[in-house]
Every structure is written in structure tokens, then in C-alpha cells.
Chains A and B, each alone.
Chain A
Amino acid sequence: MSEFLQQLINGVTLGCVYALIALGYTMVYGILRLINFAHGDVYMLGAFFGLYLSRIFHAGTDPNPLKAVLVLVLSMAACGLIGIVIERAAYLPVRKSPRLSALITAIGVSLLLENGGILVFGPDPKFFPQIVPASNIQLLPGVTISNQQVIILVVSLVLMVALRFVVLHTRVGKAMQAVSFNHTAASLMGISVNRIITFTFMIGSMLAAAAGVLVALQNPKIDPLMGIMPGLKAFVAAVLGGIGNIPGAVLGGLVMGIAEVMVVGYVSPTYRDAIAFVLLIVILLVRPAGILGRNVAEKV
């Protein structure tokens, strides 16, 4: 039993990370009907910004909570900026083109970031410093949670609640909802659609950056191609929960994280990556709109 609970904790922590990345996919999809394939690479950039910021602040050699928060917040800010640049430079020019062009642009941006990362950061893995020294908290006999896992859970939860507040209770959030319903109608209501879209990209990229830093805290090996698999899995998570649906992304992420850990723990570690795509196939067969998605006829 304690083994199962321990696996569950591991799964929920992993799931929170997927959820954070999945939120970015789902928000952009909700507003633009675009799958932003570069999103996983923004997550990678987040981890690298975190690495360089920790070096600047000497957060690894002389860790304190303030520095850790600073690293997290500044990485998020930097990636938010990157998100804006990507949207303005790559996606805005193809906004009026067929949707396929935007999709292919997204793949192009993803390749650009990955190979640009190899060029700038170097192809070999880097090791993220321990900006928060690890310690264990015993929950039950045989069940422990590390303080880093607690941080991942708490920070993700705070970010998700903050996002929910922004979307439901602020002017800009209401504008985002309006844009996601209909661009033309929203612009007729005096909403600057382009600015809202840029804002969405910024928020999504910031969440991805947070996920990058949080993961690097726990799994310190980072490299320029680290975003590919989590990016794909988070995309599956977003589809699983119902793409375009914010609570769905969180639910999908958690399901994915738990499923993955359980498969590794009880079946075989070689199926670690396979389970994500098995889930994708199953959900597309059984409930194509996703767990929480609304069934609307749609051309893709």
C-alpha cells in the first residue's frame, strides 16, 4: 500500500508539470485553433534561463529562498518575452493564411529553437544547480515526499489558481474568452484581438517556463532537446482533457503523469513513453472531444 501511495505522489508531481505545459497548449488552441508545437521548446528555454540565472545569482552555491523565487520569476518573465517575440515574428504574419500554414510555422519555430539551443547552449547536457537543497518529509511509514516535490505541487497549484482568476475575473481574461468564441465579434466589441492573442502567448510561455524550472529543480539534467517528449506528452494531456478547456488540461496532465508512473512502476519501464500515445489513441476512439471537452463538429 505504501508503495502505491508513493507512486501516486510521484505521479501527481509529474502530472502537475504536464498540466502546466498543457495549459499553454490549450490556451493557445482555445484562442487561435493553433497547436503551438514550439511550446515544449519554450519549456526547455525556461530551464536554461533558470540555469543561467542561478549562475548569475550563485543560487547553487549559496542557496536561499529569495534567490530561488527570483530565478523562477525572472525565467518566467524571460520566456514570456520570448513568447511575445515568437507570436509577433512567426505567427502574426500567417494569421490570415490557411490554418495548415500556421501549423507548419509552429513546427518550424520548434526546430529553430531546438537547433538554436544546440548552437547556443551546446549539445551536451547541463546540470541544474540545487537552488533548493533537497530534504525529505516522511508522510506515512514508507511514504516520503521531497521538499522539491512539495514546491512543484504548491507552485503549480498557485499558478493554476492564478490563471483561473485571470481568465474568469479580469477584463483581459474576459476579453480572452470573447476572442476564443469569435475573433470578428470580439473586435467589433472593441477588443484588440492581436493584443489578446499576444497576451495569451505570453501567459502560456510563462507557465511553460515555470514548468521548466520546476522540473530542472527535481531532475537536474537539462539539454536543448529536453522539451520534445514533455511537449508531446503535454499536448496529449491537453487533448485528453479536451483541448481548449483549461480545467481539462489540468485533469489531462494529472491523468498522464499518474498513468506514466504506474506503468513504469507496475508494468515495464520500456512502456513509459508508449502509454501517453496509447491514451491518446484510446481517447480519440472513445471520446474524441476529450474528457471535459464539448462535442462540437469541427473541421481540422
Chain B
Amino acid sequence: MMSRGRIPAILTLVTLLGLTAGCGGAKNDELVIGEYGSLTGNDATFGGSTRDGVELAMAELQESDQGMIGGAKVRVVSEDDRGLPEEAVTVVKKLVNQDRVIAVIGEVASSRSLAAAPVCQENGVPMITPSSTNPKVTQVGDHIFRMCFIDPFQGTVMARFAYENLNLRKVAVLKDVRNEYSVGLAEFFTEAFLKMGGQVVVEQAFSAGDQDFRAQLTSIKAKKPEAIFLPSYYTEAGLIARQARELGITVPLLGGDGWESEQLIEIGGKALNGAYYSNHFAVDNPDPALQSFLQRYKAKFGKEPDAIGGLAYDAARVLFTAMGKLHEQDPQAFSGLLSSKAGTPERREATRKLRDVIATTTGFPGVTGTITLDENRNASKAAVVLAIKDEKKVFSAVVNP
């Protein structure tokens, strides 16, 4: 990097001269944003929805401002991490070091966000995770943001829903030990449920990628719980639901936002009827901003969006808004975001300022709710609980923080 220092330095000089002349920089300068997710692998709909959400935000920017912010074109580079934490690190390193992105949007899975976040933090590139709920993700550093609630809240929501709305007292927990999200959510749920006076009669575990859960379910069945809390991703949730019903377990299954996928019901089928899970939005919420988003999404991709897509859309728009704000407040710093400034101290300074602007996001009207980032860079939002009836997701309750 040192040996390449001279050319960017000259470029910097040239663009600085250009700026004083009131011009926005070189003609082909762009603003490059990175996006990564699991387009393939075990939870492929997570990555697909995230990419679609960002793509929709980009398409709308194209319509309203010819895809430009502050006079420069915005370009999104998407990468597939195949659902593997180690691959997430590789693709984010590529985004940061080769594509020289100014900000990164991603991941859904907390394990993968946690793996890749240190790369962004070290390089001073802001990273916005649309939907990783594990509290540890934003604790990596001050450049890591999230657009959703965190698991201590989500765990409490489901515990309260089970205790108060469903009137349950004895619950079993079945978690994925190889999944940071699942372990965390199981812990927060248990804590909240015990505090309310409930009882966790048995805790069983499996490893991501397992196919057969009958042994665990048989142990659970013997303890006769009134419900099973299943903080896993949708693939396992669907498979477990089927096997539970085959073993004659009829109690309701409860889950978290990891269940949110168009494939959930395809995998689980009617075995999921009577299940509940917490989520970021319900498609039957009449909120006009949400409904218009649903329509636009459907028109572009020909399918209903899931909450993962909605959060990614919000993440992209929060980022675009922050970039626009930076351009208004500090055009000099903004020019450091242009692709010609990649690798210069100015870029470092610019991404730091961009970080500061993102951190001040307050009352942003997102489709998944109003987004206000707190001092820990987490959004505090309401959660909804969805019920699955007749192989369809229906809105059941809303819980405010």
C-alpha cells in the first residue's frame, strides 16, 4: 500500500483543485457500497432477500436521483458468503480491500456478522447489519450498526407472549449450539421466562446441518412440556416441526426471527400450524409506508418480501440518507468517499465522518418501523408475533420495547 501512495496522492491533489473550482470530482467517480450475504447455502433466502431489499432501494434511488448522491453515481457490489462465517470474512475483506467500498451492508446471521465485523471495524468502514439480532455484533466496535432490535428484547417478547398470551408455564428449549444467534436467544428467553415464574423443563441442542432431530425430540417429549421454544433458522425449524409431529408431539412451537423466510412453510408444511414466532414486521400491518413498500417489492420481484428484505431496504436507505446528509453538511469530507480517493487518508477521514452521521440517525421512517439508533448503535423497535394458521403467517400481537 505504501508503494502505491504516490499516485493516489497526485489524484487527491487534482481532485482537491477540482473541488475549489466547484466541481464534484472526476467524471467517472462513483460511490461504491458493499453488500454481502448467503445467496447459497443452508439459509439462502436470507442472502437473497437482503440483496433484493438493497436492489429495490437502489432502483428507487435511480428513479428519484438518477442513482446519484451528491453528484456521484452509487454502485452496489454484492458478494455471496455461501452461509459460512469464514467465507463472510473473505468476501468482506475483498469488498474493503479490492472494491474499496465506503460502507458495507450485511449479514443476517449473527455468526457471520460477528465474523466479518472486525474487518470493517479495523479498516474504519461503517457496517450496517440489517437483521443480526445478537447483542455482541454491535459490540465489536463503533463502526458497526444495526437496523433491528436485539435478542434480549426478542427473548423477552417471546417469553412474555408464551407466559401471558398463551398462558404456558412449562416450556422446553431446543437450540442450535453452532449458531451464535440461537445460543443467545435461547439464553435470553430462558432468563426472561424463569423471571416471570415459568419453568424450562428441558434444554436440548443440535448442530447446524443436522438432519435428524428425533432423538432430541423424544427426550423432550418425555418431559411433557407445554411448548417448545426453537430459536433456530428456518430450515431446521421446518424439519424439526415435521419430525416433532411425526413423533406425536402436538404442543405449539415458538421461534424467533430466524424463522422468517418464504421457504419456512414450504419445508415445514402443515406441521407448523399452531406455531408462533417473533418478527420485525407483519405483512398484514395496514401502515401505508409498509403497504406501499410491499407493493413496490412485489412489482419488482414478483413475490412477497419477508422482514429480512424490508430491513435490508431500510439499511440501504439509512445509508443513502446519511451520505446525502454528509454531502450537505460537509462537502469536503463527502468528496473523500469518491472512488478516486480510495486508500487515501481523506477516505479514512470521510468514512469516519460518514460513521458519525449514521450514528445520529433519529426518527428515520423505515418500512420496518421508526429507526432511532441508540448509543450502542442498535435500533429500538417494536416486535410483532406471527402465528401460523392453515400454512399461512398471520399477525397475532405487537410488543413495544
Chain A contact residues, CB within 8 Å of chain B? 2-3, 6-7, 10, 14, 122-125, 127, 130, 134, 136, 138, 142, 144, 146, 148, 215, 218-221, 226, 260-262, 264-266, 268-270, 272
Contact = CB atoms under 8 A, between A and B. Distances in A.
A270 B242 CA distance: 22
Nearest to B39: A124
Interface stretch (B6-14, B206-214, B287-295): B206-214
Given A2-B222, A7-B218, A123 B267 contact: no
A261 B247 CA distance: 14
Contacts of B247: 6, 136, 144, 146
B317 interface: no
A134 B218 contact: no
B270 to A, nearest CB: 10
A10 B218 contact: yes
- Which 5 pairs of residues, A with B, have the shortest CB-CB distance? A264-B215, A3-B222, A265-B215, A219-B211, A146-B246
A269 B245 contact: no
B37 to A, nearest CB: 13
21 contacts: A3-B222, A7-B215, A10-B214, A123-B40, A124-B41, A124-B42, A125-B44, A127-B267, A134-B246, A136-B247, A136-B248, A144-B248, A148-B246, A219-B211, A219-B212, A221-B235, A264-B215, A264-B216, A265-B215, A266-B219, A270-B177
Contacts of A14: 212
A266 B248 CA distance: 20
B198 to A, nearest CB: 23
Interface string B17-57: 00000000000000000000000111010000000000000
A75 B247 CA distance: 28
Contacts of B207: 269-270, 272
Contact of B214 (A134, A226, A261): A261
Interface string B221-238: 110000000000001000
B205 interface: yes
Contact of A124 (B44, B206, B267): B44
A35 to B, nearest CB: 24
Interface residues of B, number: 31
A219 to B, nearest CB: 4
B239 interface: yes
A272 B246 CA distance: 21
Contacts of A134: 242, 245-246
B266 interface: yes
B235 A269 contact: no
B6 to A, nearest CB: 43
Nearest to A265: B215
Contacts of B221: 3, 6, 142
B68 to A, nearest CB: 35
Contacts of A127: 263, 266-267
B86 to A, nearest CB: 15
A2 B248 CA distance: 13
A146 B271 CA distance: 14
Nearest to B42: A125
Contacts of A124: 40-42, 44
Given A144-B247, A270-B205, A123 B215 contact: no
A268 B41 CA distance: 26
Contacts of B246: 134, 136, 144, 146, 148
Nearest to B80: A123
A3 B40 CA distance: 38
A148 B235 CA distance: 20
Contacts of B269: 130
A269 B204 contact: yes
Given A3-B222, A144-B246, A144-B247, 19 more contacts: A2-B222, A3-B218, A6-B218, A6-B221, A10-B218, A123-B40, A123-B82, A125-B42, A134-B245, A136-B246, A146-B247, A218-B212, A226-B211, A261-B215, A262-B215, A265-B216, A269-B204, A269-B210, A269-B216
Contacts of A10: 212, 214-215, 218
Given A127-B267, A269-B207, A219 B245 contact: no
A130 B239 CA distance: 12
Nearest to A3: B222
B264 to A, nearest CB: 11
A125 B248 contact: no
Contacts of B263: 127
A142 B211 CA distance: 23
Contacts of B42: 124-125
Interface string B143-162: 00000000000000000000
A122 B40 contact: yes
A102 to B, nearest CB: 31
Nearest to B177: A270
A228 B89 CA distance: 26
Interface in B238-289: 239, 242, 245-248, 263, 266-267, 269
A128 B125 CA distance: 42
Contacts of A2: 222
Given A127-B266, A138-B248, A269 B41 contact: no
A127 B44 CA distance: 13
A127 B242 CA distance: 13
A26 B214 CA distance: 28
Contacts of A130: 269
B258 to A, nearest CB: 16
A6 to B, nearest CB: 5
